[in-house]
């Protein structure tokens, strides 16, 4: 072992050696060295190997700063925040890391000199699809913004072997294929840190005994099965600021020397099967968005994430400080939905059982450090786990939850002494013996936030009203955002160049600067430049659509896009009904002042969600009929773009004219797709739901296509909803429904859409699709007419982009930090 002084000297030498050049020649030679010497390939190899070699070369350029950032965060006593999330929908990393490192143009030149095309190499990277949709993508955008704001924030998640499934479309149906995103050979954007392996317990039982020295009652969790959590660290560079934060993803591994006794007794198979069982925990991401799944393995995943991450933080703390007096002053945990809400019980367990703290002290620490973000109002998404499953898998955390609940209900009964009903309603354990994870999260946190203004209000009025009455001070709003590094600078290079020419590039870290283009909104020359950028982006999108679907789109048509998870509340069905309406109009010759349209759908359905899968089939069947009809031609094209994912959205949102955000009012918590489209100059057609409300406030009523019932109207109508009345009252809807019911779109597959038809005609349809049909088609027609006035459309497009500044996650993260975490930004010296 070297002495401290020797080690320090070595570091200085290494630092000097490591001063890696950022010039074209440096990148070129490192790239070639990795390609030929490390990977054993050459310049004519598949793009995939070129991407790997280039990624290693770029990763090298992050390492020194990564280490410096880590040291800066650990040498002084400073507060840190930990973002706990079951999902990080990262997508590709190479493009983003080139941008944030500021080496895009040198890299592009280096590749060009070698006769290679950087864009093609970038496209060989597979998406890291470790999330379902908005919630997971938000976590990834948050990480980017925290690094850019120089905040000491670390992400904790799971390293699923298989991410979100790959979606194929066969005969109009969704087919799911496993997504081995790690690819062949090591993934270049992670570093295994086996030295920080943690041990996680499942099963067994608890035993109480009295400590002979202190006389204290101690609980032991015994005879548990143990699984190792091995961390893999992913670097998260800030934008040109030398900060490189860490996303730590845990991978499950059987403990070394697993079950040797069984092994020796000759139970080779059983022992190996058990090893495989342990490693199952992080095998696959559950592909359900906005719905709970109640599977044993899912609960194991949740506890695995929470226990590994909290042990990691507690151990780091103990390595530096003698006790936990200051722990709450220097640590903050943000729970991304209820998925990691077991953190409340697990931190109590670690502090009480392992560290010997009093319950009350431990509870102080827990509630001061935990904060909970709610992402949905849908009842079917609220996680509940049966007490039976808890007893079997997590006996000690369950006892702790019982104790938390007991003390909490005492508090409730003191506040409302006569109200037994209230105690029953608020109990963390419900009347069916389920643990309500949202209630555990609220009780154990000092902050509870929704993700858009409307959503946060609805939480206080509805779902969490009892808790709001008890603790109004806990409730707050943090409207979501997206990172403009990926969602504008990275994905729309032509618009970036135009913006640079007019207003410079400060908007890359200060998005409200986009306001500076607003004075140009009516400038004919600027409009023309804006138009050309949009047309080029539509061309790029049209080429991608043709490659994937074979359908040719005209870039002269209006690109009308709805891409997001397929869910009834998002109402892709309403959009399909509008498409059928347009088709009927064409067939009837009702086409005066027609605006040609290309309607693009995309999104995955949860594999067990039959209705959502059937909606995909309907879209595809309608597309087939419409696209094949010679009467239709360019007037209308319909495509279902398969395998919607982050890298697809990077092409889709720059090429969109009209963004469909048409959920039933009160159901979409925020939406973030809406913000990506707006930033890239699309106009929104939408309901007053989620962040649409704030988007409309920002752009003004005249630059937004609003339709549909509002939340209170939806709730009122529920009591006497009669969809048949809407059909009777609307000629257009009658034609659409009769064509659909006639089997016109499923001539060879009779009856396959009956469930869809019945659902929208049912008085209990929770999404009230038909109630909004008439106002939707009217506003769609307004949008179509507006599109014909090119100059006015361009003005609106420019204004949408110009006023998207508040929807940067830089703003969102600043608010989390100012109101909840209270961290000091740390400058990392270059």
Ligand X SMILES: *Cc1c(COP(=O)(O)O)cnc(C)c1O
Q: Exposed, middle or buried, 386 (CB in 10 Å: 0-12/13-18/19+)?
A: middle
**Residues 676, 795, 809, 812: which is the catalytic one?**
676
Torsional sign, CA 261, 267, 269, 270: negative
Give helix 453-461 / helix 692-699 axis angle, nearest 10°: 140
Q: Residue from 290, 672, 711, 801 that binds ligand X (CB under 6 A)?
A: 672
The nearer residue to ligand X, 61 or 567, going by C-beta atoms, is 567
Distances (CA, A) of 337 to 302, 307, 426, 668: 12, 17, 19, 15
Cα distance between residue 443 and residue 445, in whole Å: 6
Q: Residue from 485, 645, 667, 795 that binds ligand X (CB under 6 A)?
A: 645
Q: Residue from 98, 130, 271, 646 that binds ligand X (CB under 6 A)?
A: 646
Cα distance between residue 168 and residue 390, in whole Å: 37
User: Tokens in use for 548?
Assistant: 């994937």
Instruction: Tell me which residues in 676-705 interact with ligand X (CB under 6 A).
Output: 676
State in angstroms the smallest separation of the CB of 126 from ligand X.
14
The nearer residue to ligand X, 24 or 645, going by C-beta atoms, is 645
Cα distance between residue 482 and residue 695, in whole Å: 13
CA atoms within 13 A on the CB side of 721: 23
Kindly state whether residue 805 participates in binding ligand X, applying the rule CB under 6 A.
no
Kindly state whether residue 133 participates in binding ligand X, applying the rule CB under 6 A.
yes
Kindly state whether residue 134 participates in binding ligand X, applying the rule CB under 6 A.
yes
Stretch that binds ligand X, among 280-288, 418-426, 545-553, 671-679 (CB under 6 A): 671-679
Kindly state whether residue 485 participates in binding ligand X, applying the rule CB under 6 A.
no
Cα distance between residue 493 and residue 346, in whole Å: 46
**Residues 672, 684, 711, 769: which is the catalytic one?**
672
The nearer residue to ligand X, 41 or 811, going by C-beta atoms, is 811
Phi, psi of 373 (to 5 degrees): -105, 125
For the question of residue 570 being annotated catalytic, the response is: yes
Cβ-based neighbour number of residue 198 at 10 Å = 19
State in angstroms the smallest separation of the CB of 560 from ligand X.
15
Residue bearing tokens 């007794």: 265
User: Tokens in use for 757?
Assistant: 């038809």
What string of DSSP letters covers 538-586?
Answer: HHHHHHHHHHHH-----TTSEEEEEES---GGGTHHHHHHHHHHHHHHH
Do residues 340 and 306 lie in contact, with contact meaning Cβ atoms separated by under 8 Å? yes
Instruction: Tell me which residues in 136-155 interact with ligand X (CB under 6 A).
Output: 137
- Position closest to ligand X via CB: 673
Q: Map residue 333 onto helix, strand or coil.
A: strand
Instruction: Tell me which residues in 608-637 interact with ligand X (CB under 6 A).
Output: none
Phi, psi of 102 (to 5 degrees): 75, 30
**Residues 137, 159, 375, 795: which is the catalytic one?**
375
The nearer residue to ligand X, 241 or 449, going by C-beta atoms, is 449
Total residues at interface with ligand X (CB under 6 A): 12
Q: What is the β-pairing status of strands 658-661 and 558-563?
A: parallel
Instruction: Tell me which residues in 40-69 interact with ligand X (CB under 6 A).
Output: none
Stretch that binds ligand X, among 129-137, 245-253, 626-634, 776-784 (CB under 6 A): 129-137
Q: Exposed, middle or buried, 659 (CB in 10 Å: 0-12/13-18/19+)?
A: buried
The nearer residue to ligand X, 487 or 726, going by C-beta atoms, is 487
The nearer residue to ligand X, 134 or 157, going by C-beta atoms, is 134
Cα distance between residue 463 and residue 381, in whole Å: 12
For the question of residue 500 being annotated catalytic, the response is: no
For the question of residue 479 being annotated catalytic, the response is: no
For the question of residue 676 being annotated catalytic, the response is: yes
State in angstroms the smallest separation of the CB of 462 from ligand X.
21
Stretch that binds ligand X, among 133-141, 228-236, 381-389, 800-808 (CB under 6 A): 133-141
Kindly state whether residue 564 participates in binding ligand X, applying the rule CB under 6 A.
yes
Kindly state whether residue 595 participates in binding ligand X, applying the rule CB under 6 A.
no
For the question of residue 246 being annotated catalytic, the response is: no
Stretch that binds ligand X, among 211-219, 457-465, 551-559, 645-653 (CB under 6 A): 645-653
Kindly state whether residue 671 participates in binding ligand X, applying the rule CB under 6 A.
yes
State in angstroms the smallest separation of the CB of 570 from ligand X.
7
Kindly state whether residue 649 participates in binding ligand X, applying the rule CB under 6 A.
yes
Q: What is the β-pairing status of strands 80-84 and 153-158?
A: parallel
Cα distance between residue 321 and residue 562, in whole Å: 52
Specify which residues 450 forms β-bridges with.
Answer: 477
Residue bearing tokens 């350029």: 61
**Residues 565, 571, 597, 635: which is the catalytic one?**
565
Q: Residue from 654, 673, 681, 708 that binds ligand X (CB under 6 A)?
A: 673
Give the per-residue contact string, 153-182, with ligand X (x = CB under 6 A; - = no): ------------------------------
For the question of residue 375 being annotated catalytic, the response is: yes
- What are the catalytic residues? 375, 564-565, 570, 672, 676
Residues engaged in binding ligand X (CB under 6 A): 133-134, 137, 564-565, 645-646, 649, 671-673, 676
């Amino acid at each position: 072992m070297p002495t401290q002084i020797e080690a320090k000297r070595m570091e200085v030498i290494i630092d000097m050696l490591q001063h890696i050049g950022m010039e074209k020649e440096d990148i070129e030679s490192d790239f070639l060295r990795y390609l030929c010497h490390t990977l054993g390939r050459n310049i004519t190899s598949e793009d995939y190997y070129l991407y790997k070699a280039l990624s290693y070369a770029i990763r090298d350029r992050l390492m020194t700063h990564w280490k410096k950032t880590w040291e800066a965060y650990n040498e002084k006593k400073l507060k840190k925040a930990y973002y706990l999330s079951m999902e990080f929908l990262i997508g590709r990393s190479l493009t983003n890391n080139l941008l944030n490192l500021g080496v895009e143009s040198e890299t592009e030149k280096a590749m060009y000199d070698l006769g290679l095309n950087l864009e093609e190499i970038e496209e060989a990277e597979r998406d890291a699809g470790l999330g379902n949709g908005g919630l997971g993508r938000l976590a990834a955008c948050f990480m980017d913004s925290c690094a850019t704001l120089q905040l000491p924030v670390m992400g904790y998640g799971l390293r699923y072997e298989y991410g979100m499934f790959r979606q194929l479309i066969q005969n109009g149906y969704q087919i799911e294929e496993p997504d081995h995103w790690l690819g062949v050979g090591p993934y270049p954007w992670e570093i295994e840190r086996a030295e920080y392996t943690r041990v996680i317990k499942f099963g067994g039982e608890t035993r109480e005994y009295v400590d002979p020295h202190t006389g204290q009652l101690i609980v032991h969790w015994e005879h548990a099965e143990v699984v190792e959590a091995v961390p893999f660290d992913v670097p998260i560079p800030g934008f040109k600021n030398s900060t490189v934060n860490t996303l730590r993803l845990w991978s499950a591994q059987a403990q070394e020397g697993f079950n040797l006794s069984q092994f020796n007794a000759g139970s080779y198979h059983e022992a190996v099967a058990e090893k495989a069982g342990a490693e199952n925990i992080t095998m696959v991401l559950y592909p359900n968005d906005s719905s709970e799944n109640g599977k044993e393995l899912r609960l194991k995943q949740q506890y695995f994430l929470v226990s590994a991450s909290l042990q990691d933080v507690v151990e780091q703390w103990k390595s530096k400080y003698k006790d936990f007096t200051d722990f709450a002053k220097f640590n903050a945990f943000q729970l991304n939905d209820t998925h990691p809400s077991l953190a409340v019980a697990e931190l109590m367990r670690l502090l009480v059982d392992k560290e010997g703290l009093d319950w009350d002290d431990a509870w102080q620490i827990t509630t001061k450090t935990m904060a909970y973000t709610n992402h949905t109002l849908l009842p079917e998404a609220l996680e509940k786990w049966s007490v039976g499953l808890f007893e079997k898998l997590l006996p000690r955390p369950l006892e702790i939850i019982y104790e938390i609940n007991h003390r909490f209900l005492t508090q409730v009964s003191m506040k409302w002494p006569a109200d037994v009903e209230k105690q029953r309603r608020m109990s963390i354990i419900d009347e069916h013996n389920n643990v309500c994870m949202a209630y555990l999260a609220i009780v154990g946190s000092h902050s509870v936030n929704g993700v858009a203004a409307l959503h946060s209000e609805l939480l206080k009025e509805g779902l969490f009203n009892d808790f709001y009455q008890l603790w109004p001070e806990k409730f707050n709003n943090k409207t979501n955002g997206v990172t403009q590094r990926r969602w504008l600078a990275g994905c729309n290079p032509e618009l970036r160049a135009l913006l640079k020419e007019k207003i410079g590039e400060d908007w890359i870290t200060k998005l409200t600067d986009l306001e500076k283009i607003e004075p140009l909104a009516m400038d004919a020359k600027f409009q023309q430049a804006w138009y050309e950028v949009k047309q080029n982006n539509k061309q790029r999108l049209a080429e991608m659509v043709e490659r994937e679907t074979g359908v040719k789109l005209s870039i002269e048509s209006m690109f009308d896009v709805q891409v997001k998870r397929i869910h009834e509340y998002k109402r892709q069905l309403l959009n399909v009904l509008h498409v059928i309406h347009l088709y009927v109009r064409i067939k009837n010759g009702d086409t005066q002042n027609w605006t040609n349209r290309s309607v693009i759908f995309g999104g995955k359905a949860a594999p067990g969600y039959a209705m959502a899968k059937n909606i995909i089939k309907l879209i595809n069947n309608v597309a087939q009929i419409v696209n094949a009809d010679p009467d239709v031609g360019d007037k209308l094209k319909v495509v279902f773009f398969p395998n919607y994912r982050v890298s697809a959205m990077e092409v889709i949102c720059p090429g969109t004219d009209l963004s469909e955000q048409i959920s039933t009012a009160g159901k979409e918590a925020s939406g973030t797709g809406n913000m990506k489209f707006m930033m890239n100059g699309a106009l929104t057609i939408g309901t007053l739901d989620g962040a649409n409300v704030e988007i409309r406030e920002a752009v003004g009523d005249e630059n937004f296509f609003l339709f549909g019932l509002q939340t209170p109207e939806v709730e009122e109508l529920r009591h006497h909803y009669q969809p048949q009345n809407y059909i009777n009252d609307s000629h257009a809807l009658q034609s659409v429904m009769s064509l659909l019911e006639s089997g016109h779109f499923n001539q060879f597959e009779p009856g396959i859409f009956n469930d869809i038809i019945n659902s929208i005609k049912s008085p209990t349809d929770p999404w009230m699709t038909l109630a909004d049909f008439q106002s939707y088609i009217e506003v769609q027609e307004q949008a179509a007419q507006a599109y014909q006035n090119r100059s006015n459309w361009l003005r609106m497009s420019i204004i949408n982009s110009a006023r998207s500044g508040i929807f940067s996650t830089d703003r969102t993260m600043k608010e989390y930090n100012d109101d909840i975490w209270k961290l000091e930004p740390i400058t990392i010296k270059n």
